[in-house]
Amino acid sequence: MSAFVSLKDIAKSYARGKQTVEVLHGLNLDIEQGDFVALMGPSGSGKTTVLNLIGGLDRPTSGEVTVAGERLDRLGGSALARWRSHNIGFVFQFYNLMPMLSAERNVELPLLLTSLGGAQRRRNVHTALAVVGLEDRAKHKPAELSGGQAQRVAIARALVSDPRLLVCDEPTGDLDRATADEILHLLQTLNREQGKTIVMVTHDQKAADFATHTLHLDKGRLVDAAAVPG
């Protein structure tokens, strides 16, 4: 049985002026369905690049990216956008909420790219906000929410299309410890009770402890934890 997420012989480089910066070097990575993986490593090690490849936000310079049976590196731009809207939920460090929209409108945004009617969109939004415990904040704008509440809205937005995979880039990096732990418990519950596969980039070992597996990147390669400078 093939892995739910598979990166095979991945190389990724970027042009920076006249220089070519190599970020990933022959990376191989398999993640099984239902895993909660924490991806750790020093700044500049390639963690966010890996996350963007898995989420279909970026393409490899060479190699194969397969997620949920789909070869992402072979999809054109519009097909890739459609695939993302049905399969991936994104959670970012700084929430990326629209400040002028209420919580429920922020959560609804991904559904505007689908063919769902307004009534079904509202039902989905209500369900997603209920999952994160924020039904009573549906009409509030981001400035009226705490950091933890804003991140819960962002998680509800990631869940609203019922994706199979959540990709989380430092989801607790802007939160205090207690609030961070609340968000991590929520992610853990989504993994254990709803079967969401989660890939989370973090610098925080306490955050990584909530995951089922921890992988370490250094200089574009997977390494043993003991080999990562700390």
Element (H, E) at 37: strand 36-40
CA separation, residue 113 to residues 110, 162, 213 (Å)? 6, 14, 33
Q: Which residues contact 131 (CB under 8 A, 6 or more apart)?
A: 156, 159, 190
Token pair for 203 = 């610098």
Q: Please report which confidence band the pLDDT of residue 17 belongs to, taking 50, 70 and 90 as the band edges.
A: confident
The predicted pLDDT at position 167 comes to 94
Residue type at position 102: S
Per-residue pLDDT of 118-141, as tens digits, reads 888 899 899 999 988 888 989 999
Q: Hey, what are 199's tokens?
A: 């890939």
Question: What does pTM read for this prediction?
Answer: 0.89
Q: Which is higher by pLDDT, 126 or 228?
A: 126
| Complete domains list, the chain, with CATH | 34-59+76-224 (3.40.50.300)
